[in-house]
Amino acid sequence: MAINPFTMFIFDLFIISAIIIIAYTCNFYYLAFLSRKRKDVLPTIDLGTPSITIQLPIYNEKYVAKRLVDAVCNMDYPKEKMSIMVLDDSDDETVELVKNVVNDYKEQGFLIEHVRRGTRDGYKAGALKHAMQTTDSEFVAIFDADFIPPTWFLKRAIPHFSKSNIGLIQCRWGHVNENYSTITQAQALALDFHFLIEQKAKSNSHLFMNFNGTAGIWKRECIEDAGGWHTATLVEDLDLSYRAQMKGWKCVFLPDIVVDAELPAQMNAAKRQQFRWAKGSIQCAVKLLFDITVKRKVAVEAKIQAFIQLTRHIVFPLMLIQFLALPILLAGQVNLYVISFLPVITIAVYLVMGPGAYLVIMQGMYHKSWKSKAKILPALLVYNAGLSVNNTVAVFDAVLGKKNEFLRTPKYGIITKDDDWRDKAYNLPFSQTTLLEIFFGVYGIMAIFISIFSNNPIFVPIIGLQTVGFFYIAYMSLSHTRFQRNKSSDNHVMTKNEKMAKIIYKLSMIGIIGIIVFGGFMAITGYNTDIYPLDRMRGHLDGIIGSSDPAAIRAHLVAIQEDLNIVMENPNLLETTNTNGEVISKNPVWVFPTDSTNFIRIQNDVNFMLTGVEKISAVPKDSSAYHTGMMDVSDRALQLRINIMDATPYMYVSAPNVLYSVIWVVAILAIFTALKRKKEQLKEADELGV
């Protein structure tokens, strides 16, 4: 069957995206295979108690800063060998809190200092770079504000610098609040996949392994030899670790040394963290890949794996391309089944390549406890699908070279389910990305209907998973939005401005829900009146092509006439008249229309076929005229089917549909603008101390 050029272009995009996504997925399974081959017992050597500087970069961390400093000072290591630098770029109550804590520990004999640069240039990387100017110890350990290192950490980790070329020891992240919510459980599982599969496979091998920014120990010599901390990207940890390995240093991952940390409990905070990681990775790809490629001492497999790791976030825009393309291809009756005569094989392949393979991997990761972890896998799939919009924006930000701004991930000291973050400072409102998530969710509902009405229900679970993900992420982003003033105290009484912001927020939520419901209703109604009749016509034409019974063919043609009458009443069709004022064309194509999508011509062809079938009915079935006539009807039906397929995409993008979509988007943008204005007013009030 011929496919029109537009549909062919979409099909090519769909297939190319699928091939690339499969390649990245298969690479993860390859790393899973390597991770099982690697020995868990790593060599150690008695290094005694070498000097070490522990650097603690923080910014506005009043809920967790003391917890971090307490944990570091409680480590079982000689005080005179352990220098602690609290790199504090804060501009809120954290400054005074940290100052008091540091002074208390100074009085107890600890070598601890409160470092204030007076600027936030370079963000975390800038703070670490500044600290290295006065660091002269043999080793440097780094902990972010949300981490809680155990007392035995240094004594167990330092002996793993067993070879002179080991420049970094990376330890595994634990999750102190893993069971707080479904969001934290999904994040914990995703991080476990990263550490126990990717990091474990690459550690102590010729493959490049990245530093995760915290819970690790560096050799100071390695940092300096690699060129120190750079501020050009949002992931200074990935950048430095790759530059170090290009210099010949080795990075080692220790799966048995676990440092607990707090996972983001607020959806908007989790999205911000994922955004930073995605954008930073692409930035590093732009910055480092050429040098890695031309470096002779780097093995070919290491170069390939470096390329995959640094660019892996392009999978997210490719997922969106597939999501957008799938309903267009289904509406165009393009066969997307892996095996055309066994549609069920398609869904089976998705299950084997996706959840099935992950379950096998989880058995090797968690052993006896894998079944309890497997219950979280559906939540992780929904979570990752929904985040594809957020991470796609991050990828485009990096590719287009948008200015960097290191936006911290708020921490609230959440450990147990009874802890609450909602009334604390640092809460984040939803962003414009939520608008896109809502759009993709509504588009997904339309895609589900298209899948069903085009007789391709096998794709409903695939579309449905992503649709649920978009709505889930958008809903959680909206429901987790708070307008808490960052500099307010925890027992702060709401001001008039804050009360007004709360009212505006509630009204905005009602407005957004109303707009979504209205948009969904209009989409379903529009599909039923504009597109569904064309789908029915294609079904009847299929019946004609496969039939040799004139009576059955006549019934199909009569049904097509009825659907054509519905379509011809559409006021959005472009009408053309002759000199006598007679309408000679009704076309869904407004720009460069062709006669193949002229519904009046299609109607005339159907009428001609109906007349021909009446004549064929009077001819003996065993005559050559009967067979010739039936072949002519079948050929005409096939051509009409192609014409209707050509017309279908243009029914989606009619002028009113585009106008309604613009109005829909503008309405939501107006709500975002109102919320943004109120947020700025609160920020100004904070700065003025009102």
pLDDT per residue over 282-306, tens digit each? 999 999 999 999 988 899 999 999 9
Is residue 649 pLDDT above 80, yes or no? no
Annotation says 89 is catalytic: yes
Residue 197's contacts (CB-CB under 8 Å, 6 or more residues apart) are: 28, 31, 32, 35, 361, 365
Instruction: Write down the mean pLDDT value for the chain.
Output: 87
Instruction: Give the HSE-up count for residue 314: Cα atoms under 13 Å, Cβ half-sphere.
Output: 19
The answer to the question of residue 597 being in a domain is yes
8 A C-beta contact, residue 118 and residue 99: no
What's residue 487's pLDDT? Answer: 47
Helix or strand run (H / E) with residue 86: strand 82-88
The answer to the question of residue 192 being in a domain is no
What's residue 495's pLDDT? Answer: 60
Residue 131's contacts (CB-CB under 8 Å, 6 or more residues apart) are: 53, 55, 85, 87, 115
Is residue 683 pLDDT above 60, yes or no? no
* pLDDT band per the 50, 70, 90 thresholds, residue 500: low
Catalytic option among 144, 192, 237, 530:
237
What's residue 1's pLDDT? Answer: 47
Of the candidates 670, 635, 387, the residue with the CA atom closest to the CA atom of residue 511: 670
The answer to the question of residue 72 being in a domain is no
What's residue 492's pLDDT? Answer: 52
Residue 199's contacts (CB-CB under 8 Å, 6 or more residues apart) are: 170, 172, 209, 210, 212, 253, 255
Is residue 404 pLDDT above 80, yes or no? no
Write out pLDDT tens, residues 558-602: 999 999 998 888 888 888 888 888 888 888 887 778 888 899 999
Write out pLDDT tens, residues 62-94: 999 999 999 999 999 999 999 999 999 999 999
Q: Residue 446 and residue 443: Cα distance in Å, rounded? A: 5
The answer to the question of residue 259 being in a domain is no
* pLDDT band per the 50, 70, 90 thresholds, residue 118: confident
The answer to the question of residue 400 being in a domain is no
What's residue 509's pLDDT? Answer: 66
Number of structural domains in the chain: 1
Segment 65-69 long-range contacts (CB within 8 Å, at least 24 positions apart):
65/94, 65/97, 65/98, 65/101, 65/145, 66/97, 66/98, 66/101, 67/148, 67/413, 68/143, 68/145, 68/146, 68/147, 68/148, 69/98, 69/101, 69/102, 69/105, 69/112
What's residue 489's pLDDT? Answer: 45
The answer to the question of residue 518 being in a domain is yes
The answer to the question of residue 515 being in a domain is yes
Query: 401 — alpha (psi -120 to 50), left (phi > 0) or beta?
Result: left
Q: Residue 141 and residue 87: Cα distance in Å, rounded? A: 13
Identify which has the larger pLDDT, 485 or 102. Answer: 102
What's residue 483's pLDDT? Answer: 54
The answer to the question of residue 284 being in a domain is no
Tokens coding 54: 């522990």
Phi, psi at residue 446, to the nearest 5°?
A: -60, -40
Annotation says 76 is catalytic: no
Hey, what amino acid is at 490? D
Q: Residue 327 and residue 247: Cα distance in Å, rounded? A: 49
Per DSSP, helices labelled H in 108-233 are 123-132, 153-157, 182-193, 200-202, 220-225
* SS3 assignment for 301-321: HHHHHHHHHHHHHHHHHHHHH
Taking CA atoms, 670 is separated from 12, 166, 436, 508, 666, in Å, by 37, 55, 14, 10, 6
Write out pLDDT tens, residues 516-554: 777 777 777 777 788 888 888 988 998 899 888 899 999
Range of the structural domain that residue 658 is part of: 493-690
Identify which has the larger pLDDT, 364 or 243. Answer: 243
Instruction: Over range 649-659, report the average pLDDT.
Output: 73
Segment 525-529 long-range contacts (CB within 8 Å, at least 24 positions apart):
526/657, 527/446, 527/449, 527/450, 527/453, 529/566, 529/570
Catalytic option among 88, 89, 146, 192:
89
Helix or strand run (H / E) with residue 561: helix 550-568
Question: How many helices (H) does the chain have, and how many strands (E)?
Answer: 25, 10
8 A C-beta contact, residue 147 and residue 260: yes
Identify which has the larger pLDDT, 425 or 501. Answer: 425
Query: 581 — alpha (psi -120 to 50), left (phi > 0) or beta?
Result: left
